[in-house]
Amino acid sequence: MATLLWLQTGACSGDTMSLLCADSPSVESMVRQGQLDILWHPSLSATPPGGLAALIARIEAGEQALDILCIEGSLITGPFGTGMFDSYRGRAKIDIVKALAPHARYVVAVGSCSAFGGIPAAPPNPTDCTGLQFERERPGGLLGPDWRSAAGLPVINLAGCPTHPGWVVDTLEKAALEGLQAEDLDEFGRPLLYAGGLVHHGC
């Protein structure tokens, strides 16, 4: 069973809505069948918000395994690189993401915002948004182009605004059951499960 932590950063929650619309498989069936153990999701977890802080601390201390870290929303680095335009309990979310990412086997950017910066990163980009490993189409982003997860992979980018529900659950299912390899991704870190298949898949 793969453990999953889903964080929302600078987001509209549209990708969470996509996740909830998935039906083949649904996220509920993946949990029921023992494929996923959702440690935290802002819309699905009954744990009070303070429980997230304790969970983050356990992962950082190496006391809780983390297989899949999903990030929804642009990574807000403003003002002046502090990230404090988007914080959780006095800590910039970009710092939380950077602390958790090395512990995860896979880091998944769910939607164009977390993958590439999305609409919030459009000029003049008042909150200094970026993607996890890309700034628009340019490699870089919050983690930098050379960053790799515990499984040796770059960030897995599920493009789309919002992304397609099937792409989310199919990627999570493959990561949980079979594992993902570098050859499963294109040059933008998008899974070849869907990237390049249809015209609208490239959005």
pLDDT, tens digit, 9 for 90 and up, residues 126-157: 999 999 999 999 999 999 999 999 999 999 99
pTM over the 0.75 mark: yes
Instruction: Return the pLDDT at 47.
Output: 82
The low-confidence residues of the chain, meaning pLDDT below 50, are 199, 202
Question: Residue 85's pLDDT is what?
Answer: 97
Element (H, E) at 168: helix 165-177
Helix, strand, coil abundance in the chain, percent, nearest 5: 30, 20, 45
Q: How far apart are CA 176 and CA 29, in angstroms?
A: 13
The model's pLDDT over 62-79, given as tens digits with 9 standing for 90+, comes to 999 999 999 999 999 999
> Which position has the token pair 């649904």?
26
